[in-house]
A = this chain, B = another copy of it.
Amino acid sequence: MSNHATAPESALRHRVYRQLEPVSRDAYGLSPANRLIVTLIVLSVLAAVVESEPLLAAGHESVLHAFELACGVVFLVEYLLRVWVCVENPAHGPGWRGRLHYMRSAAAVLDLVALTPLVTSLIGGEAFVLRFVRLLRLLRLARFGRLSVALTHLREAIRSRAFELAASLWIALILLLITSTLMYLVEGRAQPEVFGSIPRAMWWSIVTLTTVGYGDVVPVTAAGRLLAGCTAVIGVGLVAMPTGILASAFSEAVQRHRRREGGGWKDAH
């Protein structure tokens, strides 16, 4: 399909490409190279999570650091290989032009950002922000195998009901403003600390409308409780609407895809 190179280098490049590019394989099975990368991404994220908790990391700092370094090197090699082989994909075009085109794609930029912890772990850096960058690697999973398919379906589901979802969110937002204003008017004098302004009352409002109900902020006056009851009943129905819409749209998208798949598009190569 994209066989416009005959030199041995090109043959090798094509083999590497087929190992690295998820789209060149069946959507569900990953190539061995990609399986390794996915495993390393998951493990390096877990390492970052563990490292943040002193009780878990105590005594294992050097092991975790070495593992992070190893992951960083593998991801660097992966990045360089991807840049090298990207020209196999006709979408990017040939030569360094194609490579630059690839490097400007969202996926490649994310790959590059996910490499920064390697640099900072060598020269030292702020552990706090660093950890966040290491967790960004999680987003790289989005282009592998099943998860990429699932996200495609989810995106399709959201797009097919964009209007309903946006409308529900708008109505929820307006409901949020109205209930928090009313609560501020009704309960503001009794509990100025938590209902003394509209932005403060919004915290209560969102916690109630989503039925999370932490209970750190609750109305104490009779009028406030009456209003809270109405907010809960009306709000529950309206805020839960997007959920129902999204669930059925997602199910539909998957089923639609399954029927199409019957007409096969397994392996492009």
Mark A residues whose CB is within 8 Å of B: 45, 48-50, 52-56, 128-129, 131-132, 135, 138-139, 141, 146-147, 149-151, 153-154, 161, 163-164, 166-172, 174, 177-178, 181-182, 184-185, 188, 197-200, 202-203, 206-208, 210-216, 218, 222, 225, 229, 232-233, 236-248, 250-251, 254
Q: Indicate if the CB atoms of B240 and A197 lie closer than 8 Å.
A: no
Give the Cβ gap from A243 to chain B, nearest Cβ, in Å.
4
How many angstroms from the CA of A250 to the CA of B165 in the assembled complex?
A: 11
- Which residues from chain B contact A218 at a C-beta distance below 8 Å? 214, 216
Q: Indicate if the CB atoms of B212 and A208 lie closer than 8 Å.
A: yes
- Which residues from chain B contact A172 at a C-beta distance below 8 Å? 233
Q: Indicate if the CB atoms of A171 and B154 lie closer than 8 Å.
A: yes
Residue among B154, B161, B184, B188 making CB contact with A251, cutoff 8 Å: B161
How many angstroms from the CA of A163 to the CA of B152 in the assembled complex?
A: 13
Give the Cβ gap from A111 to chain B, nearest Cβ, in Å.
17
Q: Indicate if the CB atoms of A164 and B132 lie closer than 8 Å.
A: no
If the complex has contacts A128-B185, A232-B206, are A254 and B49 also in contact, measured as CB distance less than 8 A? Answer: no
Residue among B132, B168, B188, B215 making CB contact with A215, cutoff 8 Å: B215
- Which residues from chain B contact A154 at a C-beta distance below 8 Å? 167, 171
Q: Indicate if the CB atoms of B233 and A237 lie closer than 8 Å.
A: no
How many angstroms from the CA of A150 to the CA of B197 in the assembled complex?
A: 30
How many angstroms from the CA of A250 to the CA of B216 in the assembled complex?
A: 34
If the complex has contacts A147-B167, A214-B218, are A248 and B251 also in contact, measured as CB distance less than 8 A? Answer: yes
- Which residues from chain B contact A251 at a C-beta distance below 8 Å? 161, 164, 244-245, 248
Closest to A135 in B: B181
Residue among B161, B170, B215 making CB contact with A213, cutoff 8 Å: B215
If the complex has contacts A54-B197, A141-B174, A207-B232, are A241 and B241 also in contact, measured as CB distance less than 8 A? Answer: no
